Amino acid sequence: MQTRFPPELLADPDMASSEGVIRKCVHCGFCTATCPTYVLLGDELDSPRGRIYLMKEMLEGERQPTAEVVKHIDRCLSCLSCMTTCPSGVNYMHLVDHARAYIEDRYRRPLRERLIRWLLAKVLPHPGRFRLALQWARRFKPLEPRLRRHPALKAFAAMLALAPSVLPRKPCGIAAGPQVTKGRVILLQGCAEPVLQPDIRPSAARLVIGAGYEVILARGEGCCGALVHHMGRTAEALQAARRNIDAWMAYIDGQNIAAILITASGCGTTIKDYGFMLRGDAAYAEKAARVSALAKDISEFLDGIDLPPPVSPPGLTVAYHPACSLQHGQQITEAPKRLLAAAGFTVRTPKDAHLCCGSAGVYNILQPEIAGQLGDRKVETLERLGADVIATGNIGCATQIALKAKAPVVHIVELLDWAHGGPRPSSLTVKPD
């Protein structure tokens, strides 16, 4: 795509990066067919190509974002399906991240939107606050159908719908590993995931420890920053990234760390991008690149090591839902299926597996109607497989799919851990209403 960015604008590294991305787009439109919002809404401006055009016009003219442009950028799920499809290597993720930050700096949203976004940014990344919020949300859950009828209150209704009826117990500790034989890994402790499903991290740790690694839970670590990053709150995202880099470097420098393991693929995609996000920060650029190089999704890591053979393969059929952040953001498609099959499960994948389930971070709260339609389609294709259980690698997807699915929904490490002698996943025992 031809661009006309004035040279002085290109002195800004973010503008220069976005200009490079836009120039790679050749308007072929291949990406439109795999974009969930275009498939659903059929509007060119809700396709990757249309959005690239809108972002180009806004950025190169240094224009004030209009309500119309913001609407179409807000509707983008950041699912990155377009990046998998694009034959020209357009890095849509970096472009849309820049556009969201640009909008956040220059566009004044209506008060209700500002309030919801502020609440999400201040609550979700903090496990203590999030847990407290869920306790309150449970009390008001019966009001959800009434709130949903008022357009201005739909986001609040979506929050109540997503709150589990039964609040999981607090995250439990992780047993110390054996004598180190193969190496040490850092396991990201996460923010929302351990509150919503506290069994995931211990399951991952048991598998890694069982394979001969020591698991380190780094002191001082917190949310990866993905959630605020996708809302364009760059300063908060970079602050989270720097805090985590400081926490991890204390171990990386002295202890020969083999990997930083992440059980939520949405977080993994962001941590793998820390190197890019902090490329202009002289104090952090090199450390951020090292952290990104060490970051691995749990399935990627387990697939690359010698896991002992399963001790009690349950032999169930699994409908595997590939999270967009894993299949498109990290290009990891086969590892989770290979691991499940090796653990004795029969793995099936649904039709249109490349399409997003509508979770996409906090998208299902901010865009509940589109997210609801995508969620319904996803659950229908998954349930058509007739599997005993649905498995995925991202807590956001698990929460979104569990809203409608009749089958239990688990993280793949809960199934792998079970097959390797760990406990039966709790959601296979009781499925909350």
The minimum distance between CB 388 and ligand SF4, in angstroms, equals 30
Closer CB to ligand SF4, 49 or 229, in the complex: 49
Distance (Å, whole) CA 285 – CA 245: 10
The residue within the footprint of ligand SF4, chosen from 6, 13, 29, 386 (CB under 6 A), is 29
Torsion over CA: 362, 367, 372, 377 (sign) = negative
Distance (Å, whole) CA 22 – CA 161: 38
Closer CB to ligand SF4, 246 or 376, in the complex: 376
The minimum distance between CB 103 and ligand SF4, in angstroms, equals 15
Closer CB to ligand SF4, 182 or 351, in the complex: 351
Q: In what order do the strands lie in the sheet with 317-320?
A: 346-348, 317-320, 389-392, 409-411
Is residue 364 at the binding interface for ligand SF4, with CB under 6 A as the rule? no
| Alpha-carbon dihedral angle through residues 200, 258, 83, 385, given to the nearest 10 degrees | -40
The minimum distance between CB 376 and ligand SF4, in angstroms, equals 17
Q: Candidates 8-16, 27-35, 230-238, 260-268 — which segment interacts with ligand SF4 by CB under 6 A?
A: 27-35
Contacts of 301 (CB under 8 A, 6+ apart): 185, 208, 259, 261
Q: Candidates 3-11, 43-51, 145-153, 310-318 — which segment interacts with ligand SF4 by CB under 6 A?
A: 43-51
Tokens 């099936």, residue? 348
Distance (Å, whole) CA 398 – CA 57: 37
The minimum distance between CB 63 and ligand SF4, in angstroms, equals 20
Is residue 36 at the binding interface for ligand SF4, with CB under 6 A as the rule? yes
Is residue 28 at the binding interface for ligand SF4, with CB under 6 A as the rule? yes
Closer CB to ligand SF4, 101 or 291, in the complex: 101
Is residue 26 at the binding interface for ligand SF4, with CB under 6 A as the rule? yes
Is residue 27 at the binding interface for ligand SF4, with CB under 6 A as the rule? yes
Degrees, nearest 5: CA angle 137-142-147:
85
Q: Are 227 and 259 in contact (CB under 8 A)?
A: no
Is residue 49 at the binding interface for ligand SF4, with CB under 6 A as the rule? yes
Distances from the Cα of 2 to the Cα of 63, 125, 136, 284, 351, angstroms? 18, 39, 51, 34, 37
Q: Candidates 19-27, 97-105, 207-215, 333-341 — which segment interacts with ligand SF4 by CB under 6 A?
A: 19-27
Q: Are 325 and 397 in contact (CB under 8 A)?
A: no
- Contacts with ligand SF4: how many residues (CB under 6 A)? 26
Distances from the Cα of 128 to the Cα of 135, 195, 225, angstroms? 11, 9, 16
The minimum distance between CB 100 and ligand SF4, in angstroms, equals 11
Is residue 25 at the binding interface for ligand SF4, with CB under 6 A as the rule? yes
The residue within the footprint of ligand SF4, chosen from 23, 30, 107, 189 (CB under 6 A), is 30
Closer CB to ligand SF4, 37 or 270, in the complex: 37
* Strand ranges, E, within 200-256: 213-216
Closer CB to ligand SF4, 37 or 359, in the complex: 37
Q: Candidates 34-42, 64-72, 387-395, 415-423 — which segment interacts with ligand SF4 by CB under 6 A?
A: 34-42
Element (H, E) at 275: helix 274-277
Distance (Å, whole) CA 359 – CA 87: 26
Binding mask 75-94 for ligand SF4 (x = CB under 6 A): -xxxxxxx--xx-x-x-x--
Distance (Å, whole) CA 345 – CA 382: 16
- Per CB under 6 A, residues contacting ligand SF4 are 25-31, 35-37, 48-49, 51-52, 76-82, 85-86, 88, 90, 92
